C-alpha cells in the first residue's frame, strides 16, 4: 500500500489484527509510521503479523488477547502502555459469523455467542480505553462494522443485530465523551474478500468475489480517518464495491 499519511506520532491498537481487515489496517498503520499494538486470540497468526511488520523496519508488539473477556482487555492496555506510553487510536476489527444463520435455524446459544464476539468485545474495548483517552484529552475509536448494519441482507439476524449494536455503542460513546476530546467512527464495508466469506452457508461465486473489496481498501479508509486532525469528526463511512 502506498503511504499517504504520516502517523509517526501515533500509537494504534488493532483488535482482530491476525487476519483480514484488521491485519491490513495494522500493516498500513505501521507503514505510515505508527507504533502498532496487535491483538487477537490466534497467537501464532498474530506473531506472524508482528514479524512481518518488524522485518520491514516498523514498530509493533503482539499481545494475544480474547477481547470478549474484560480482564484480558485490561491486560492488553497495560502491556500497550508499558511499551508505548500512550494509545491514540483503537481499531475494533473483531467479528464473526456462522453458517447456520437463518432465523429458523439460529439457536439461543449461537445468538448469545454472536453478541459476545461482535458486540460485547466492542463494549469492553470502549469502556476500558475511555479513562485513558480522557487523561490524554484525545483519542479515536474506529469500529469496523458491516453494510449489514445499514441495509437488510442475508447475513443473518444475529450478525445484523450485533453489528447494529456496535453502531449504537459508537454514537452513544461520542455523545457522552466528545467534551473530553474523544471521537468515534463507524466504517461500513460491503462484501470484502476476507476469511469470513468462507463461513457463508452457500459459497460466494468466484466472479462475485473478484469484484469484492479487498482488506486493504478498508485499511485505507481507516487511515484516512486516523490522518485527520482532532478537530474533524467522521461519524460514519460507507464503503461498497463499485460494481454491485
pLDDT in tens, the chain (244 residues): 444 689 999 999 999 999 999 999 999 999 999 999 999 999 999 999 999 999 999 999 999 999 999 999 999 999 999 999 999 999 999 999 988 899 999 999 999 999 999 999 999 999 999 999 999 999 999 999 999 999 888 889 999 999 999 999 999 999 999 999 999 999 999 999 988 787 777 777 888 889 999 999 999 999 999 999 999 999 999 999 998 7
Residue 192, SS3 per DSSP: strand
Number of H helices and E strands in the chain, helices first, is 8, 7
Cα–Cα distance for residue pair 224/81, rounded to 1 Å: 24
- What CATH number matches the domain at 11-239, 3.40.50.740, 1.10.1330.10, 2.60.40.10, 3.40.50.720? 3.40.50.720
**In a 3-state reduction of DSSP, which class is residue 238?**
strand
Cell of 174: 461520542
Let me know if 84 is a catalytic residue. no
Cell of 98: 456462522
Q: What is the largest CA-CA distance in the chain?
A: 51
CA distance to 53, 94, 150, 177, 232, per residue, from 163 (Å): 29, 10, 9, 21, 24
Q: Whole-angstrom Cα distance, residue 28 to residue 34?
A: 9
Give the Cα-Cα-Cα angle 191, 192, 198 (nearest 5 degrees): 95
Nearest-CA neighbor of 227 among 56, 10, 27, 13?
10
pTM summary value: 0.94
Q: Which of 5, 84, 159, 233 is catalytic?
A: 159
Amino acid at each position: 500500500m502506498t503511504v499517504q499519511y504520516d502517523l509517526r506520532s501515533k500509537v494504534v491498537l488493532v483488535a482482530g489484527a491476525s487476519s483480514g481487515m484488521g491485519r491490513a489496517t495494522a500493516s498500513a498503520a505501521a507503514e505510515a509510521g505508527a507504533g502498532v499494538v496487535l491483538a487477537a486470540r490466534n497467537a501464532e497468526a498474530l506473531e506472524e503479523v508482528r514479524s512481518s511488520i518488524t522485518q520491514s523496519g516498523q514498530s509493533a508488539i503482539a499481545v494475544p488477547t480474547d477481547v470478549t473477556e474484560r480482564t484480558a482487555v485490561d491486560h492488553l492496555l497495560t502491556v500497550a502502555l508499558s511499551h508505548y506510553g500512550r494509545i491514540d487510536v483503537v481499531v475494533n476489527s473483531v467479528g464473526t459469523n456462522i453458517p447456520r444463520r437463518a432465523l429458523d435455524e439460529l439457536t439461543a446459544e449461537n445468538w448469545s455467542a454472536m453478541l459476545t464476539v461482535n458486540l460485547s468485545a466492542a463494549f469492553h474495548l470502549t469502556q476500558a480505553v475511555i479513562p485513558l483517552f480522557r487523561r490524554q484529552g484525545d483519542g479515536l475509536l474506529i469500529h469496523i462494522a458491516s453494510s449489514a448494519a445499514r441495509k437488510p441482507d442475508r447475513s443473518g439476524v444475529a450478525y445484523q443485530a450485533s453489528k447494529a449494536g456496535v453502531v449504537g455503542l459508537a454514537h452513544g460513546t461520542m455523545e457522552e465523551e466528545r467534551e473530553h476530546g474523544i471521537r468515534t467512527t463507524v466504517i461500513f464495508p460491503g462484501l470484502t474478500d476476507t476469511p469470513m466469506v468462507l463461513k457463508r452457508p452457500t459459497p460466494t461465486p468466484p466472479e462475485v468475489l473478484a469484484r469484492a473489496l479487498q482488506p486493504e481498501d478498508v485499511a485505507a479508509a481507516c487511515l484516512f480517518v486516523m490522518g485527520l486532525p482532532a478537530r474533524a469528526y467522521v461519524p460514519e463511512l460507507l464503503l461498497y464495491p463499485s460494481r454491485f
